[in-house]
Structures are given as structure tokens and as C-alpha cells.
Amino acid sequence: MKESVSRFCSFLLRVGTLGDRMQGEWIGEVPPHASSNAYPVLRTWIEYLKEDDPQICFLPSYHTFLATGDSYKSFAYSYRVGKSTIVGIVPETCEILWRKLQPLYMPVPKRKDWETTAEGFLNRWQFPNCIGAIDGKHVVIQTPPNSGSVFFNYKHTFSVVLMAIVDHMYCFTVIDVGAFGSCSDGGIFARSQIGRQMDSNELNIPPYQQLPGAPEIGKLPFVAVGDEAFPLKINFMRPYPGQHLCEGKRIYNYRLSRARRVVENAFGILAARWRIYQRGFSCNHRMWIKLLKQPVPCTTFYRKLHNPHR
């Protein structure tokens, strides 16, 4: 546990201060209603923050806001500050933390990173040449004014989509945030920067490689895996459609679904740690993007904290 605390203190020092405007402001305690369910690192962070460097101004109210998903008003009461103060703190802190954390825990993947992920998928999930699992998560929002049906999804709720590539250890590699809930996962992927770069071979994906134990097949490309909503491409694989399949196709679907399951589990971990994903967002579109993307590198950090030899 001491090693984990020291790692987290080192992480705090890397992130540094939250801007001159916030210097010396709130470093409080976690509200009672959040202490049992909030992000586990939160209490460790609050406990050691003051001892490490009192000038580092992280805001427990901000992380607890994301971890519990409560309203601005409830946190204004909990921390004895005005609602307008909390409303101003959250977006500014989101922007600064994303700018600090993303290069550390979600950098742009290089060829070596993809190769490490492919080795992990082979050893852990028995799926070779796999660079990640892709899927989209619908995050419920309140109906924006004059938005028509662009946010209305197949679940009969209004949502925006968080699309992500996840590695073999449930760590987020690449994300795309803010697509309309009415769009399909395949359409969102095709229009996203991730999909365009994959099609134009700009993601530093490694060259073709032989499958282990099958040299007679020759070299095959590295691929990402997804469900039936995505198209079949040279760098993307999906399950065989239908129910009455031969044995070989059924085995392939089983192996692919086993590898693809990591992205579903990663979204489950994300929503369990940050309960704001389970509540309806009631802010403007620009704020949605900030609130949706900022917990992702924090979750990846927490995964790597407990899996240093991943």
C-alpha cells in the first residue's frame, strides 16, 4: 500500500498546480454520502495531499462530483460554497486535469505500444494480432433545447456517445467523445478521427505478422475487434453474422467475443468508479465533452497503479 501511495503522490507532483486562480482554495473532506462509494484513490489523495505539498490545489469536491454524480447544489451545500463557485470550478478543473493527465496516461500510441497490446491479447485472451477492442457507450443527457431527435437513441433516451479503444488490461488507449446518440457505432467510428486515421494508415499500426503456430497462412494484418455494428475492414474484425454457423465460425466468434469483452468491462469499470456516467447530464454540449473525457485517463492511471507490470 505504501508503494501505491508513493506512486500516487508522484502522480500528483507530475500534474502540478491547477492554475493561479485556484491557488489556496478548497482542500476539504469527502462528504459523508460519498465516502463509501467514491473513487477509492480519492480518500488516499486527500489524506496525503496536504503532507506532500500544500500548494497543490486539487479539489476534492470536483472528484467527488464525478464519483457520485450528485447535483451542483448538493455539493455547494456539502462544501459550504456557492453553487456558482462549483459550476465555475468543474469545467476549469476538467480542462486542466485532461491537459496534464492525457500525455502521461493516454499518449498517442506508437508502434511498440500496439505490439505490446497485441502480445497481451494473445497471452491473456488467446486472440493474435489484436491491437484493441472498440465499442461505444451511450451516456444519458437531459434533452437539449431545440435539438430535435439528433440525440435520441435506440434505447429511447437522449445521449451522447463515448467511443474508445481498450487494451487487454482494460486500459483506455484512444477515445472519441461527443457524437450524437442517434448515430450508429459504425457511423460514429467511420466519421471519427480514429476511424479516418485507421483507414489512412496513420495510427502507427505494425506491419503484417505471422500468426503463432500457423506459418502456412502467411503474414496477416494487426486488427481491432468490435461487434456487429462495425464494418469488416482490413484492420478491423467483427463476428460472423447469423446463428446456424459451422464449428470453425462458432469458435472464431467465441474467441473474438472473448477479446471484445474487455471494452465492455472497461466501460463497466468506468461507470462504477465515476457514477456521473450513470446520471443524466444537464449541461451544455461543450461541458459534456469535458466531463465525459476527463475521468478516462484517471481510470487508466488507477488500472496501471494496480498493474505496474502490465
Look at phi and psi of residue 201 and say left if phi exceeds 0, alpha if psi is from -120 to 50, else beta. Answer: left
Name the one residue in this structure whose C-alpha cell is 493516454: 106
Name the one residue in this structure whose C-alpha cell is 486535469: 97
What pTM was computed for the model? 0.78
d(CA 95, CA 100): 9
Phi, psi (degrees; rounded to nearest 5) at 252? -60, -45
Q: Kindly state the helix (H) or strand (E) to which residue 135 belongs, with its residue range.
A: strand 130-140
**pLDDT, one tens digit for every residue, the chain (310 residues):** 344 545 555 555 555 544 333 333 333 333 343 333 333 444 444 444 444 433 334 445 566 777 777 777 877 787 777 878 777 777 777 787 888 888 888 998 999 999 999 999 999 999 999 999 999 999 888 887 888 888 888 888 888 899 999 999 999 999 998 888 889 888 999 998 888 988 888 888 998 988 888 888 888 999 999 999 898 999 999 999 888 899 999 999 999 999 999 999 999 999 988 888 887 777 666 777 778 888 888 888 888 777 655 5
- The pLDDT tens digits for 58-107 are 445 566 777 777 777 877 787 777 878 777 777 777 787 888 888 888 99
Alpha-helix residue ranges (DSSP H) falling in 142-201: 185-191, 193-199
8 Å CB contact between 302 and 269: no
CB atoms within 10 A of CB 187: 16
d(CA 195, CA 198): 5
8 Å CB contact between 16 and 57: no
Phi, psi (degrees; rounded to nearest 5) at 218? 90, -175
